[in-house]
Amino acid sequence: MDKKLLKNMRERYGDSQEFLKTFNISLQPTVTRNIDKAYCGTAPRMSEVKECYSEAILKTWLMAQLCDLNDYCGVKKKLNPRQIDELAELIISQYSVLRVTEFMLFMTYMKSGFYGSFFGVIDPQAIMVNLIEFNKNRMAEIARVRVKLENQEIERQRNESQKNSITREEYELKKRRNDNEKLLYETKKVI
C-alpha cells in the first residue's frame, strides 16, 4: 500500500479502534440514504483496511456486520460462530475491492429482503450468492454515479462560463463603444 494512502487513512480514521467506531453497524442507515456516496465516496476499500490496520481488524469489522444480520433475521437457525468466521474469510479473500460502505449497503439490502428472504435458516451460501449479484449490480451503479457526476461537472462548468460570457448583441454593442471611444480619442489627439 502506498505510504501516503496509509498515512491519510490513519489521519482520517485514526487507529483501528477509531476505524471500527466510525464504520460501526449503526452507520448502515446513513449509507443507505446516500447510495452514490456508498459506491463512489472516499470510504476505504476492505483491502485498504486490511493493509492499514490488519486482516484481524477487517475480519472483526466484517464479523460485526454479519452478526448484526444474524441477529436481525427472524429465523430459527442462525449462523454459528464458525460459519460467521468462515464467511468473513471468504469475503476478505473474494471481495476486498469493495468499499466498507458498499458492504454495509449490501448488508442493508440483505436485511430489507432485496435478494429475497431466508426461509427458516440463514444460509452462508445464500449470502455469498447474493454478494455475487450485488457485485454485478455494483458495476452498473458505479457507472451510473460516474455519469451523473460527469454531467454535474459539465453543468457546473457551463454555469461558470455563462457567468463570464456575453451575448452576440452585447459583444457588438461593446465593440461599437470601443470603436467610438477610439475615434473620439483620435479626434481629440488631432485637435
Count structural domains, the chain. Answer: 1
Q: What SS3 class is residue 131? A: helix
In a domain, 190, yes or no: no
In a domain, 172, yes or no: no
Which of 10-19, 96-105, 116-125 has the lowest average pLDDT? 116-125
In a domain, 145, yes or no: yes
Give the CA distances from residue 53 to residues 31, 33, 57, 90, 114, in Å, rounded to whole numbers and listed in that order.
Answer: 22, 27, 6, 19, 32
Q: How far apart are CA 104 and CA 98, in angstroms?
A: 10
In a domain, 158, yes or no: no
In a domain, 66, yes or no: yes
Mean pLDDT of 152-166: 84
Q: What is the pLDDT of residue 167?
A: 81
Q: Which residue has the higher pLDDT, 128 or 74?
A: 128
What cell was used for 98?
469493495
User: Tell me, what amino acid is at 189?
Assistant: K
User: Tell me, what amino acid is at 90?
Assistant: L
Mean pLDDT of 67-88: 91
Partners of 45 in beta bridges:
99
Q: What is the pLDDT of residue 190?
A: 65
In a domain, 180, yes or no: no
Q: Which residue has the higher pLDDT, 45 or 5?
A: 45
Q: What is the pLDDT of residue 14?
A: 92
Per the structure, the complete domain to which residue 102 belongs is given by 3-152
pLDDT for 181 beyond 90 = no
Q: What SS3 class is residue 99? A: strand
Q: How far apart are CA 80 and CA 94, in angstroms?
A: 21
What cell was used for 3?
505510504
pLDDT band at 1 (very low <50, low <70, confident <90, very high): low
Number of CB atoms found within 10 A of residue 35's CB: 17
Q: How far apart are CA 123 and CA 125, in angstroms?
A: 5
In a domain, 162, yes or no: no
User: Tell me, what amino acid is at 125?
Assistant: Q
In a domain, 83, yes or no: yes
